[in-house]
Chain A
Amino acid sequence: MPSQKKDLLQGTLDLLILSVLSGGPRHGYSIARRIELVSKDVLSVQQGSLYPALHRLVKKGWVTAKWGVTDTNRRARIYELTETGREQISHEVSTWKSFSVAVSSVVDTANIF
């Protein structure tokens, strides 16, 4: 039986991370868990992709990283959206929406039966 969890489409991880961080600062593991939780375990974040994506966003200046403490009182590297990152979300979201509408339009025309 195929897994219910779906791999992320290439390029969507950045948007997901930015969306999660728009709710407040989080560390890497927490971001991955949040994505799985919100997507009701449909989306699975490959651990190997998460950190390169986070570092890429830091490099772009959309996200900052600082050492801090988690809710469970553990030391962790906390990621937070920057002003540029916030501006970028709306752009990324509109791009994604127009993309998904376009995909839906095509998919809706499919003659399944």
Chain B
Amino acid sequence: MSVLLRKIRYFLQLLFRRKDFENNLDEEIELHLEEMIQDHMVNGMSRKEATRVALKHFGGVEQIKENCRDSWGMRLFRDLIRDTNYALRLIKKDKGHAILLVLLFALCIGPSTILFNILNSLYFNPDRYPDEDRIYCIYDEVSNIEKLAEDRRGTSTLLYLERKQQSNYIESIGVQVVGAQNVQSHPNTSAEFREIYAITPSIFDVLGVQPFLGRRFYDDNTDQPGPVENVVVLMFDRWQLTHNADPDIIGKSIIINGVPKEVIGVMPESFSIPPDAGEKSVREIGHIIPLPLEEREFRAEDRHKIWRGCYARVKPNVTKKMLERELAAITDANSKNYEAFKEYIITPRTLTLGEYHIADIRGTLLLSLAMAIFVLLTGSLSLANYVLAKNSSRLQEISAKISLGATQMRLIRQFLAESSIIAIAGTLLTIGVSQLTLIGLNRSGFFSFFPMAPRTSVDAETILALVLLATFITLVLSLASITPLLSRARSKQGLHSGDRTGSSSSTLKRYRGALVLVQSAIAVILLVVGGLLFRSFLEILDIDPGYDAENVLVTTIRPPEDRYSREERYQRMIDLETEIRNLPGVRAVGTTKWPPMRLHNIQRERVISFENPNWKEAPIASRDTVSPGYFEALGISALQGRLLMDTDIGDRSSAVVIDGTLAKNVFGSEDPIGKQVAIYWSRGTLPPNNPPQWRTVVGVINPVRIHDLYTPSTGVIYQAIALRYIYWFGYVIKTDVGSENIIPLLEQLLLKSESDVAVGMPRTLKNAIAERYAERKNLLYFCLSLTVIGLTVAILGTAGVISCTIATQRKEIGIRMALGEHKTRIIYGTTRNWLKLALSGILLGIIATYTFSNQTQNLLYETNARDPLIYFISTVTFMILISIAAFSSAIKCTSIKPIEAMRT
């Protein structure tokens, strides 16, 4: 141990008191020489002679000192310090160059860092729950409705129970649903309409998380129809915001949909709710309640109606393949008990949470990743190009060093040290900027269209990946820039190059030319993709939804289910419409089951005509149940026939109004007015078990986009409100001005009659539409940012190279000017050479973009990925930018007098 301690002490002394070591050595050698001189002088020599002889016998003092330093150890460390000092001196000498390189470096790896961080937290290493890789979302595809492009990833209660009871691989499994309800947190405050997370108690086991305060739900009677505990668990944020982090919250009461529920727990701060089946965006949820299973869910005919979100935790070492195989076997075996529904082929599917998180944003992420990689590539090329161009000006210095005996390894080490300092500064800058960008993206709502918000801090894995990437780039750049220089310097041209013309050798020129060419290609790819996305966004902004959204407010009001009888509820809905109509400033109001732009999961229906009752080939449409005022509030008029009227209201009415798209899909060119149609819910019971109920088409309206903005509507069918369709009340309210001003009046109206019922999620229709733009808008902004970064990097790099190269040709230019060549001719010639090179790169970029246009097409709306105009504009833009860079550098070089140029 003492030996170890002594060694540590020695190294620490060497590390921190190196100057003492050096001073001791200097003095010791000086004293040694003095002793030798004195001895010689005693033998009769003069001091001068004695000094000469002593020095001769002693040998090279510096060499001896160097050998002593070697014997101290830590030579590598010493070399590192020396090279670093040398590199720092070089950087200090040309600060502007260093700052530019650091910025280029950060721009180059920044986008990749941010994207890797997002991917890491969503897919590679999502760490929201313990052993998250064992958690699977289980959902089913049912053959008969598969082609309807159902985007809900769910299962049915019966399928869930089969798996719970029969699987050997599943450790725990549960179902869940997210829905909005009235929440009154305190007795004296007004109610809020909030998203509620309803789960079977086993979901706590699946996610491996328990409340940090209080308890979870009891497991009793959870898999049977009927009432559940009247309790609620609060999310951490809600507990803090609404209940001021009350430590005595347990046992207190919250009214949810008119029913008092006892608070039994608070979830930990880190807990987040997994996406609901088919959920595409992050929802703000504050309350978790036990999920009551309904009687009808246990009916045989409901086995294939998949709408419950389902998560399972598998036992250790169970793979996805094993689980899917077992689920398929269980499902097939049980399907034999449901002979009457054998036409529904149920195929179980699974997704890990990581897969789920990226399933719906895969296209967006892939495009962003591709662009980030292009930025990385162009950035690396710019850096290599710029470093090479800059180092070319050091050719004489390198040659001199080689002549003086510097080894190749020493020179490479010095270049590495310089690049490493730049890389370290760039990496630190990248971490800082990435952190700020992630926070900014989160605050700007960029992640709102993600199923789960990714981490907003740069994580350890990302930093490790970043460091590896930075090291790789540094090594490649250093070697790429030094190798051609060394070979040239070794060929002994370097020392003379300045005397000749100052121009680079042909190898260097070719090397630089290749870099500029590839860089131009990447810049054009980025420009074209950015242009296409921008055009696509303009197209989206230009979408006509088929109705007038100006001054329209949409809201949902949902009185507690058991407060009224069905008849009373129906009457209440009609009365409320009348009361709203009588509010000041209201021009029109209509009731609707599905307020426009409010749903992500659209209820899809099959619509058959009397003439062609083949339901298997029936067109798909979305259905809505509305009051006549709906059309007036949205400014929709009839193209053919009439709109719904008060006389159509009620259970006996069979009148329906369809939009132009559905009319075309069902009836082709025939006149639909007076024709009979029947509607089948896509997940409902189909003929022959469910005979058609024929309805009469009384009117046709313009095609409307009610729920989705970008997907062209497959058709909409409207039926009048009736007693049997009542569940909640959605309203569209047209006002004279500023429809949001009506919200306080609505709240007062409800407060008078039902203080525990909230005006649910009121927002102007224009805002609701804007929210639908958000995803595309965010994608566009992100990709445009990448385009701008990539372009900046490419232009900076290319311009830097052009400028450096032209600068090294200053002497040549001076001679040409001295020989009488006109300035304009030189500028023209230089610019033309660079443009030729850039043009080749542009051509390469266009070919690459054109080849991969099919992949880009999926992300564009009404925009051709091979749009010649965008290609043309991108090409011209890049050419202009390169021309400016080459032109300005050439002008700068020709602006000095020939004599001065030749003297430098």
Contact = CB atoms under 8 A, between A and B. Distances in A.
Interface of A: 27-29, 46-49, 51-53, 55-56, 59, 61, 65, 67, 74-77
15 contacts: A29-B35, A46-B59, A47-B57, A47-B58, A48-B64, A48-B67, A51-B28, A51-B32, A52-B68, A53-B71, A55-B71, A56-B71, A59-B73, A76-B28, A76-B31
A48 B28 contact: no
Contact of B59 (A27, A47, A56, A75): A47
A51 B73 CA distance: 14
Given A56-B71, A59-B10, A77 B64 contact: no
B72 interface: yes
Contacts of B71: 52-53, 55-56, 59
Given A29-B32, A59-B73, A76-B31, A51 B68 contact: yes
Contacts of A74: 31, 34-35
Interface in B54-76: 57-60, 63-64, 67-68, 70-73
Contacts of B31: 27, 29, 74-77
B24 A52 contact: no
A52 B64 contact: yes
B333 interface: no
B48 interface: no
A61 B28 contact: no
A52 B879 CA distance: 64
A98 B28 CA distance: 35
B53 to A, nearest CB: 12
A48 B60 contact: yes
A51 B35 contact: no
Given A46-B59, A51-B29, A61-B3, 10 more contacts: A28-B28, A47-B59, A48-B63, A52-B64, A52-B70, A52-B71, A53-B71, A59-B71, A67-B24, A77-B28
Interface of B: 3, 6-7, 10, 24-25, 27-29, 31-32, 34-36, 57-60, 63-64, 67-68, 70-73
B104 to A, nearest CB: 44
Nearest to A55: B71
A107 B342 CA distance: 102
Contact of A59 (B25, B57, B64, B72): B72
Contacts of B67: 48-49, 51-52
B8 to A, nearest CB: 12
B6 A55 contact: no
B588 to A, nearest CB: 94
Contacts of B25: 51, 55
A55 B72 contact: yes
A52 B60 CA distance: 13
Contacts, number: 59
A39 to B, nearest CB: 17
Given A29-B32, A48-B60, A77-B24, A55 B68 contact: yes
Q: Which are the 6 A-B pairs with shortest beta-carbon distances?
A: A29-B35, A52-B67, A48-B59, A56-B71, A52-B71, A55-B71
Contacts of B24: 65, 67, 77
Nearest to A53: B71
Contacts of B70: 52
Nearest to A32: B32
Contacts of A76: 28, 31, 35
Contacts of A77: 24, 27-28, 31
A7 B466 CA distance: 55
A65 B72 CA distance: 14
Nearest to B65: A51
Contacts of A56: 71
A13 to B, nearest CB: 12
Contacts of B10: 59, 61
Nearest to B32: A29
Contacts of B32: 28-29, 47, 51
Contact of B36 (A29, A51, A65): A29
A28 B25 CA distance: 11
A106 B578 CA distance: 123
A76 B30 CA distance: 10
B660 to A, nearest CB: 92
Contacts of B73: 59
B240 to A, nearest CB: 61
A29 B73 CA distance: 23
A47 B68 contact: no
Contacts of A29: 31-32, 35-36
A54 to B, nearest CB: 8
A46 B63 CA distance: 13
Contacts of B36: 29
B60 to A, nearest CB: 7
A108 to B, nearest CB: 36
A67 B59 CA distance: 24
A51 B72 contact: no
Contacts of B28: 28, 51, 76-77
Nearest to A82: B6
A51 B21 CA distance: 13
A29 B36 CA distance: 8
A51 B27 CA distance: 12
Nearest to A56: B71
Nearest to B54: A47
Contacts of A59: 10, 71-73
A58 B878 CA distance: 66
B493 to A, nearest CB: 38
B4 to A, nearest CB: 11
Nearest to B28: A77
A74 B30 CA distance: 12
B64 A47 contact: yes
Contacts of B27: 77
Contacts of B64: 47-48, 51-52
Contacts of B34: 74
Contacts of B59: 46-48
A27 B31 CA distance: 10
B252 to A, nearest CB: 72
Nearest to B34: A74
B11 to A, nearest CB: 10
A37 to B, nearest CB: 12
A61 to B, nearest CB: 5
Contacts of B3: 61
Contacts of A47: 32, 57-59, 64
A27 B72 CA distance: 19
Contacts of B57: 47
A67 B27 CA distance: 10
Of B7, B10, B31, most A-chain CB atoms within 10 Å: B31
A34 to B, nearest CB: 13
Contacts of A67: 24
Contacts of B6: 61
A77 B6 CA distance: 20
A51 B32 CA distance: 10
Contacts of A51: 25, 28-29, 32, 64, 67-68
A33 to B, nearest CB: 8
A76 B38 CA distance: 14
